[in-house]
Homo-oligomer: A and B are copies of this chain.
Amino acid sequence: MEPRTQHDPATEAGDFHRALRDLIRLHQLRDRDRVCCYDVTVSGAHALEILATQGPLSLNALAAELFVDKSTASRVVGCLEERGYVRRVPDPLDGRAIRVELTDAGADMEAQLRDDAVWEMQAMLAGFDPEVRRGMLGFLRQLTRTSATHAGATDASCCRTDPGAD
């Protein structure tokens, strides 16, 4: 049992955990408000962004990118299509599949949303050292990767109630 000093790994990890929890919780709620006036849901906004980055995708691929069930993805696409932001195009190579494409309006909307977020992020980043910024970006991505791994192995990691006696 090591003493909990300021530099104790567990203490530091606890700080990170709290910071991350607050951030996630806040974004969960804030984004809902922010996005509403743009007439798209949070998932919709993410879908637009993904489509803008990766080009047309099948529904399954989109669902995977969004980390949601394909049924949810289907509904999200339905909403976006109603508003004219995406198009469902039948896949010429596979009669079962569709390709979800961004329309011009969708691309425009996506640019607006991204601009907004980027602008805000830029302001935030200004106060940090370039080297630290690079490290942070890697950290965020690493965190996502690790979390994704754990999420994938839910059955095992979900109910490991006792890490020590295992």
Question: Could you tell me which A residues sit within 8 Å of B by CB distance?
Answer: 7, 9-10, 12-31, 33-34, 36-38, 46, 49, 53, 66-68, 112, 114-133, 135-144, 146-148, 150-151, 154, 157-161, 163
**Which residues in B have their C-beta under 8 angstroms from that of A53?**
18
Contact at B148–A26, with CB atoms within 8 Å? Answer: yes
Known: A67-B29, A136-B135, A151-B29. A124 touches B112 (CB 8 A): no
**Which residues in B have their C-beta under 8 angstroms from that of A121?**
13-14, 16-17, 20
Contact at A23–B118, with CB atoms within 8 Å? Answer: no
* 8 closest A-B pairs by CB: A132-B135, A13-B121, A19-B140, A13-B122, A30-B151, A37-B159, A13-B118, A23-B144
Interface centre among A114, A133, A157 (most CB of B within 10 A): A133
**Which residues in B have their C-beta under 8 angstroms from that of A31?**
24
In-complex Cβ contact of A37 among B37, B130, B136, B158 (8 A): B158
A9 and B118 CA atoms in complex are apart in Å by 9
Contact at A118–B17, with CB atoms within 8 Å? Answer: yes
Contact at B24–A24, with CB atoms within 8 Å? Answer: yes
A116 and B162 CA atoms in complex are apart in Å by 9
Contact at B163–A17, with CB atoms within 8 Å? Answer: no
Interface centre among A9, A68, A139 (most CB of B within 10 A): A139
A82 and B151 CA atoms in complex are apart in Å by 28
Which residue in chain B gives the minimum CB-CB distance to A140? B19
